[in-house]
Amino acid sequence: MTMSAKELPGAPPSFKGSYGINFQIINSTSYILFADLNDNKAFDSGSSPSEVIENLSLEKRVKITNLSPPSPLNITFSPPDPTTNINISATSAIITIANDSQTKTITINKAGLIYVK
């Protein structure tokens, strides 16, 4: 695994480097990786400059079938601690994905621990 840094075009000087993932049932085959430019712990659709870093698609036939807390689900990670925020105040998130024959549950807790069942 490799890591790299990348400057975010249009980011305000106050940007502290918080990043997040946005899941929505309405977009059940994709999710958004975003920069939390205004540090509100949520994805702001249509903001200027855009917070979208990348719109990522799930594998073929895989869909998001349930989100808890309900859609939209925003999970942000803020350095340097790192601090994990789930819809601002939730203590955990559960994302259920499924394909034709299998269902998987992804759980993320406030400490940033992610596990799959």
Q: Given a cut of 60, is residue 4 above it in pLDDT?
A: no
Instruction: Give the DSSP H or E segment for 109.
Output: strand 103-109
**Local confidence band at 25 (pLDDT 50, 70, 90 cut-offs):** very high
Rounded Cα gap, residues 68 and 99, in angstroms: 19
Measuring CA to CA, how many Å separate 61 from each of 42, 48, 58?
A: 28, 33, 8
Residue with tokens 């939390």: 36
1 vs 83, higher pLDDT: 83
Phi-psi label, residue 46: left if phi above 0, alpha if psi -120 to 50, beta otherwise? left
Can you give the pTM of this predicted structure?
Answer: 0.87
**What pLDDT, in 10s, does the model give residues 82-100?**
789 999 889 999 999 999 8
Rounded Cα gap, residues 91 and 111, in angstroms: 9
Residue ranges per structural domain of the chain: 19-116
* Cis amide leading into 70 (omega within 30): no
**Local confidence band at 81 (pLDDT 50, 70, 90 cut-offs):** confident
Q: DSSP string spanning 64-78?
A: EEEEESPSSEEEEEE
How confident is the model at residue 24, as a pLDDT? Answer: 96
How confident is the model at residue 5, as a pLDDT? Answer: 57
Contact 84, 112 (CB under 8 A): yes
Mean pLDDT throughout 14-37? 91
Rounded Cα gap, residues 112 and 27, in angstroms: 24
Q: Given a cut of 90, is residue 49 above it in pLDDT?
A: no
